[in-house]
Amino acid sequence: MMKLLKQAFIIGLTIFSIQSNAQQIKSSTMTNEEIVTKFLNGFNKPEEIQESLALLADDYRFKNPMVELNSKEEFIVLAEQIGAVITGIEIVNIAEKGNWTAVFYNFKSSVIGLESNTGTEWFRIEDGLIKESNLIYDTAEWRKFYAQMKQ
């Protein structure tokens, strides 16, 4: 009888441990809002940019009024250029609907005349990775800046 109770106790403890471990794995999974926030915060902290880029799917698609990219690899090249002039991103508000997360934010730059900008970016997330995003912002002054750079 004692041996049977001991086996039942061990089985119960094992099941409890498995359930606890599964619970910890689930609770360590980031929400869509957390994924997007971590991604954007990488532009505030250069030492964390690799963690941000790790949140992108290999076939990540990025679009803004001036460029359309179709892979994580293409975006990394752009991110290096962005990182050279963006000095910070301040999230104002986040809204979610299904697998879409919309973020309204202010982004600061070191470019004279473009120090403060407002944008909204829509992110589609699948299986814990950002599959695509569409950034919307006023590009009038940015187009002038890029045109001067090409001269």
| pLDDT of the chain, 151 residues: tens digit per residue | 555 445 544 554 444 444 444 433 333 599 999 999 999 999 998 888 899 999 999 999 999 999 999 999 999 998 888 888 889 999 999 999 999 999 999 999 998 889 999 999 999 999 999 999 999 999 988 888 778 767 7
Residues 5 and 52 in one domain: no
Total tally of structural domains belonging to the chain: 2
* 129 and 61 in a common domain: yes
pTM score above 0.75: yes
pLDDT score for 122: 98
Q: Domain residues for 53? A: 31-150
Burial class of residue 39 (count of CB atoms within 10 Å of its CB; 0-12, 13-18, 19+)? buried
Q: Are residues 4 and 19 both part of a single domain?
A: yes
Do 131 and 96 lie in a common domain? Answer: yes
Task: Identify whether residues 20 and 94 lie together within a single domain.
Answer: no
